[in-house]
Structure 1
Amino acid sequence: MTFPNEAVNADESVGAPGFEQESEVEGEGGSRLREGMGGLAKGLAIIEAFSALSPRMTVAEAARLASVTRPAARRCLLTLVELGYLSHDGKFFSPLPRMLRLGGAYLSTSSVAQIAQPLLAAARDELQESVSLAVLDDGQSVFVGRAEAIRIVSTGAKLGGRLPAYCSATGRVLLSQKTNAEIERVILALPMTKLTSRTINEPEQVLNAIRRVNSDGYAISDEELELGMRAIAVPVRNREGTIEAALSVSVSSARVSVDELTGRFLAVLIRVAGRIEKAL
């Protein structure tokens, strides 16, 4: 597996001294691990090299920080890209939301959830409703930040919860920056079940709902996930203008109308999203 702008060097070819050829790797306290553990140890060392101080790395930086050879670092990094744990822009490798499955590695390297948490709490107090922050992973919206309103019956997903992107407000926001072909690949990869009588699950209608985010600046899921619950979400962009996360509020449809969501609630979300973006 090769990438543009990073051809395979002669010393990185199969059979060269590196990932497969190193039979031992030094463990803690100078102990030696026998063959069979070396590859795993290198991979974990690469993952652990990502931190708040090193949110993205080149092959050379990863090799230095993980104390492995460049060929070994490169093989580990490309494997993690292939498995969906890292992204690669031709030079730098960066963690993706799938890292959450490894016990929080993604959260430790992405400042957005940490920055957002006190702002989520402030928005919750102002709106008196639960406010969340989500990222996209495998066609689902994953909640990485949450400020829960205290109510007898709670609404929305919990921290770490996952919602299908095709019919959730956060998912539609997160998909809105992708091309039509990319969106179709994501939404068709998983069954688009009609969860309620109001769920939009026809591919063309879902695509239209996602595309409207670009003109409206927000997405709404009105009783599509569960009858009696509606949500509105807005994008949170990084310094490059790419959507980093989706900020949302979920409410009971008996308490809050769609007009109120697109009025007072939307204004608060846009303001809070702007504050998060300035801090990123």
Structure 2
Amino acid sequence: MELLGGATEPLSLTQIANHLETTKTTAQRFLNTLIQLGYVRRADGKKYLLGHKVLSLAFRFLHSEGVFSHARPYLEDLSSELERSVSMGVLDDTEVLVIFRKERTRFYPFAVYVGSKTPSYCTAMGKVLLAALEDDELKALLERANLFKVTAKTVVSKTAIFKEAKKTRERGYAIVDQEFSLDLYAIGVPLLNHSNEVVASVSISLNVRDKDDPKLLERAKAKLFAAGQQISQGLGYDGPYPAITR
């Protein structure tokens, strides 16, 4: 399931068997069991991706926190007002599990969709979620994370990522400038609950050229911050915003 969750597109039986270093017969047996349980589903008959039951686990947690009912209308409006893609995600070990996606323009050479996973160290949502961790938790995560360059601008140094997390924490929001796509400039904010815990993060995807338009950039930030604050207030958070507490 981790293999399928980390993939940017459905995988074939051969790809799965090769990644797991096992035979296609063994891989097929595991897949059949997961399909029966609802954790994996077929795509186009010959490929596989995560099933809705995996997503339901994340959604169940978010529903129990009240996140989804508060967040969705704000995120839909945010995307419509700015005509930009908006995403929401939660930390799943070392990656970000996308649990909401309103796509307007794609800046990636691969698909980002609900249920997919993205790196935490080079995405706006991920940087927020990393900044919310305690220092020892963040160091442990970076030790086991697969840090690779997505673009020439991607930072993969553990020391540099740790320092960036501190900057993000102090700033209260995250910035990604061509680290996940050379065409992408993204801003991420936290969603906080009544206990001042960061329960999810939201990001808005801008074209990298948008950062040279001060009016557009400030409008995007203001709208994103307002949406994040309203969602957080609906979850019981009443502190300053944007802010990343631990």
Q: Same fold (TM over 0.5)?
A: yes
Q: How much has 1:195 moved relative to structure 2?
A: 1.6
**Structure 2, unpaired ranges of 5+:** 1-36, 38-51, 236-246
TM-score by length of 1: 0.59
Alignment of 1:97-246 (within 5 A): 102-111=54-63, 112-149=67-104, 151=105, 153=106, 157-246=112-201
RMSD: 2.4
Q: Distance in 2 between matches of 1:210 and 1:257?
A: 24
- Contact 2:210 2:217 survives alignment (8 Å): no
Question: What secondary structure, in the 3-state scheme, does the structure 2 residue paired with 1:104 have?
Answer: helix
Question: What secondary structure, in the 3-state scheme, does the structure 1 residue paired with 2:121 have?
Answer: helix
- Contact 1:195 1:225 survives alignment (8 Å): yes
Question: What secondary structure, in the 3-state scheme, does the structure 1 residue paired with 2:133 have?
Answer: coil
**CA deviation vs aligned residue, 1:17-63 (integer Å, no higher than 9, x gap):** xxxxxxxxxxxxxxxxxxxxxxxxxxx9xxxxxxxxxxxxxxxxxxx
- Contact 1:131 1:146 survives alignment (8 Å): yes
Amino acid at match of 1:102: V
Indicate how the Cα distance of structure 1 residues 178 and 108 shifts in structure 2: closer, same or farther if over 3 A, else same: closer
**CA deviation vs aligned residue, 1:144-170 (integer Å, no higher than 9, x gap):** 112222x4x455722222111111111
- Contact 2:107 2:184 survives alignment (8 Å): no
- Contact 2:210 2:216 survives alignment (8 Å): no
Q: How much has 1:123 moved relative to structure 2?
A: 0.4
Higher Rg of the two aligned structures: 1
Alignment of 1:32-71 (within 5 A): none
**Structure 1, unpaired ranges of 5+:** 1-43, 45-99
Amino acid at match of 1:200: V
Deviates more, 1:179-188 or 1:241-250: 179-188
Q: Distance in 2 between matches of 1:258 and 1:213?
A: 22
Give the % identical residues: 28
Q: How much has 1:255 moved relative to structure 2?
A: 4.2
Q: How much has 1:103 moved relative to structure 2?
A: 4.4
TM-score by length of 2: 0.67
Question: What secondary structure, in the 3-state scheme, does the structure 2 residue paired with 1:240 have?
Answer: coil
Q: How much has 1:259 moved relative to structure 2?
A: 5.0
Question: What secondary structure, in the 3-state scheme, does the structure 1 residue paired with 2:153 have?
Answer: coil
Q: Distance in 2 between matches of 1:261 and 1:203?
A: 33
Question: What secondary structure, in the 3-state scheme, does the structure 1 residue paired with 2:138 have?
Answer: helix
Which has the bigger relative contact order, CA under 8 A and spacing at least 6? 2
Indicate how the Cα distance of structure 1 residues 109 and 205 shifts in structure 2: closer, same or farther if over 3 A, else same: closer
Q: How much has 1:257 moved relative to structure 2?
A: 3.6
Indicate how the Cα distance of structure 1 residues 205 and 271 shifts in structure 2: closer, same or farther if over 3 A, else same: same
Q: Distance in 1 between matches of 2:175 and 2:55?
A: 31
Query: Which consecutive segments of 4 or more residues in structure 1 shift more than 6 A?
Result: none
